[in-house]
């Protein structure tokens, strides 16, 4: 038998054959190089990072990530793992990735002290934040973050917030007026009110007036395009299996976030809507020639845009700050206020005691009185923030990612350089040795489970899961372990370090002012009785929802206090 050789029938086909073979070889070379680099990085990471114990992989592809995303109570999962494996442990993640979980106050303090320089946001986090709000203070890192934060800081000083306290009360009294009218028209003097929507309106109008000298008018019934988009996140049905898979894979391949789906489209719409509003407000403020020295947020942003000094911001950065403030001002305070009304409805004794303190005090407290003269109000507010932090999980990479996930805001971080993290108590490594510090290699991924730490039995004691404002009123109310947590009032709700929440005092003042008006004037009960179940609805941030309700429904039975 004679061998035969196939000969291309034309020069062009020969060229195409050679070209395709060449392209294939180049692709194979790049793939081999990529695989080689990955192997070297993994080997380096394993050699330079203390290998800790942790839960076994439940999925070959997803590790335990799918379990966490699917869980209704991921905080309990983290706490259980900390009890079993120690205050620092490793969890298997997507496609062979590993995340280091820190549940130790000393380790977390070390971590936060170096955040934004040693521990930074991952590429996925940066991509998702930029898609939602642009390259503002939430997105920036290192020197850029320091510059942007410094430019904004005067707007959140005590002096600045003191002037804004009347705005908080104005919003609260608008709600009181509407609810009074509804109750007057009811037959039995009470009405079922969907309180979460009203808390959303309070938050939006307050940040509009206090931050940008603009009244969105949502408390007056005006339509605001931004609220429609915000609410769409909460109205969205359960996340599809495909979207969940794409989200999980995005941690390994950030390019997956470019694949169009309903969530991506909604995020783009929200970004565009907030951008249009921010641009309109900025143009109007420039036209009205606001005084540069004004300590309002919009005034400081215009000043930063126009100056040549070290704090100068570009127009894109200015617009990004405005979008961040709209988002944060709308989401976080409204969620906390809603949780407060839920917990007070569940605990009528606490509600009565708080009302008595407020009525005994008399007139609406000033900013300084809100901070110092109403201890039980302060206790209730901080107990809400302890049990129900708006951001439930915080992650970072040793300088390689904040992640606006499909279902919750999650800050994804990694290490930029090698580091050694001290521990307050020793842990057992994967090899069985005990160690009181862990070595970290560049590129390591981190998780700090805020909600789990805020509710930890090991840190907060046997009553950690209970709503117990009294713990904030006595010296021994906060246990020794909890006192080691270095966040605001020993909580991680506002995180800590260089990236601690810039609007913390603003949020606390608004929370207290609004809650004081609502509790003094109305009595709250769960519509379906004290045993009503509340679940978590997935919006931009996790929100409470009464089981069986659509969207983010929290219907409470409300009557006037007389």
Q: Please, how many CA atoms are within 13 Å of residue 191, restricted to the half-sphere of its CB?
A: 15
Is 501 a known ligand-binding residue?
Answer: yes
Regarding beta strands 534-538 and 419-428, do their DSSP bridges make them parallel or antiparallel, or are they unpaired?
unpaired
Q: How far apart are CA 193 and CA 526, in angstroms?
A: 10
Regarding beta strands 393-397 and 409-411, do their DSSP bridges make them parallel or antiparallel, or are they unpaired?
parallel
Q: How far apart are CA 278 and CA 62, in angstroms?
A: 39
Token pair of 176, please?
């009181």
Angle of helix 262-287 versus helix 225-235 axis, rounded to 10: 160
Q: Which phi-psi region, left, alpha or beta, contains residue 114 (left: φ > 0; alpha: ψ -120 to 50)? A: alpha
* DSSP character string of 403-448: EE-SSSEEE-EEESS-EEEEEEEEEEBTTS-EEEEEEE-TT-EEEE
Q: Assess contact for 393 and 451: CB atoms under 8 A.
A: yes
Dihedral, 62, 65, 71, 75 alpha carbons, nearest 10: 160
- 435 forms bridges with which residues in the sheet? 427
Residue 463 DSSP SS3: coil
CA–chain centroid gap for 362, Å, is 35
Largest CA distance in the chain: 109
Regarding beta strands 98-102 and 409-411, do their DSSP bridges make them parallel or antiparallel, or are they unpaired?
unpaired
Sequence ranges of the binding site: 501
Q: Name the binding residues for heme.
A: 501
């Amino acid at each position: 038998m004679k061998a035969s050789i196939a000969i291309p029938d034309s020069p062009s086909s020969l060229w195409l054959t050679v070209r395709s073979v060449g392209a294939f070889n180049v692709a194979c070379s790049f793939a081999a190089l990529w695989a080689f680099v990955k192997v070297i990085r993994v080997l380096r990471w394993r050699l330079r990072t203390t290998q800790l114990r942790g839960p076994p992989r439940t999925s070959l592809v997803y590790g335990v990530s799918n379990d966490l995303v699917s869980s209704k109570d991921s905080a309990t999962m983290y706490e259980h793992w900390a009890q079993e494996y120690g205050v620092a442990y490793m969890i298997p993640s997507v496609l062979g990735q590993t995340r280091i979980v820190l549940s130790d106050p000393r380790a977390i303090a070390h971590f936060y002290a170096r955040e934004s320089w040693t521990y930074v946001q991952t590429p996925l986090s940066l991509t998702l934040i930029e898609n939602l709000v642009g390259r503002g203070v939430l997105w920036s890192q290192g020197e850029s973050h320091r510059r942007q934060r410094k430019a904004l800081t005067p707007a959140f000083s005590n002096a600045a917030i003191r002037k804004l306290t009347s705005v908080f009360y104005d919003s609260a009294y608008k709600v009181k007026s509407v609810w009074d009218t509804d109750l007057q028209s009811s037959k039995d003097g009470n009405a079922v009110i969907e309180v979460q929507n009203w808390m959303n309106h309070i938050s939006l109008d307050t940040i509009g007036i206090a931050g940008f000298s603009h009244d969105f008018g949502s408390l007056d019934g005006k339509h605001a395009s931004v609220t429609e988009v915000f609410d769409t996140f909460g109205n969205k049905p359960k996340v599809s299996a495909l979207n969940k898979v794409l989200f999980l894979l995005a941690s390994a391949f950030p390019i997956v976030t470019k694949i169009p789906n309903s969530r991506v489209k909604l995020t783009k719409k929200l970004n565009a809507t907030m951008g249009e509003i921010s641009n309109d407000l900025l143009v109007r403020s420039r036209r009205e020639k606001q005084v540069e020295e004004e300590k309002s947020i919009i005034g400081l942003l215009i000043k930063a845009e126009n100056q040549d000094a070290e704090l100068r911001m570009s127009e894109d950065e200015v617009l990004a700050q405005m979008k961040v403030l709209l988002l944060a001002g709308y989401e976080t305070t409204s969620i906390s206020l809603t949780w407060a009304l839920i917990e007070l409805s569940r605990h009528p004794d606490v509600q009565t005691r708080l009302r008595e303190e407020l009525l005994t005090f008399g007139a609406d407290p000033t900013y300084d009185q809100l901070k110092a003269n109403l201890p039980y109000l302060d206790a209730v507010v901080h107990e809400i923030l302890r049990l129900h932090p708006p951001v439930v999980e915080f992650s970072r990479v040793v300088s390689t990612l904040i992640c606006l996930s499909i279902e919750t805001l999650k800050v994804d971080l990694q290490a930029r350089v090698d580091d050694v993290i001290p521990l307050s108590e020793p842990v057992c490594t994967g090899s069985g040795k005990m160690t009181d510090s862990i070595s970290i290699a560049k590129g390591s991924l981190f998780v700090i489970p805020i909600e789990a730490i805020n509710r930890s039995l090991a840190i907060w004691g046997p009553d950690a899961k209970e709503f117990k404002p009294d713990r904030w009123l006595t010296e021994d109310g906060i246990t020794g372990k909890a006192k080691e947590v270095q966040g605001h009032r020993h909580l991680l709700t506002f995180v800590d370090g260089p990236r601690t929440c810039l609007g913390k005092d603003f949020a606390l003042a608004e929370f207290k002012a609004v809650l004081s008006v609502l509790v003094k004037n109305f009595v709250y009960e769960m519509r379906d009785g004290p045993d009503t179940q509340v679940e978590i609805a997935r919006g931009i941030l996790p929100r409470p929802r009464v089981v069986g309700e659509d969207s983010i429904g929290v219907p409470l039975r409300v009557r006037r206090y007389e």
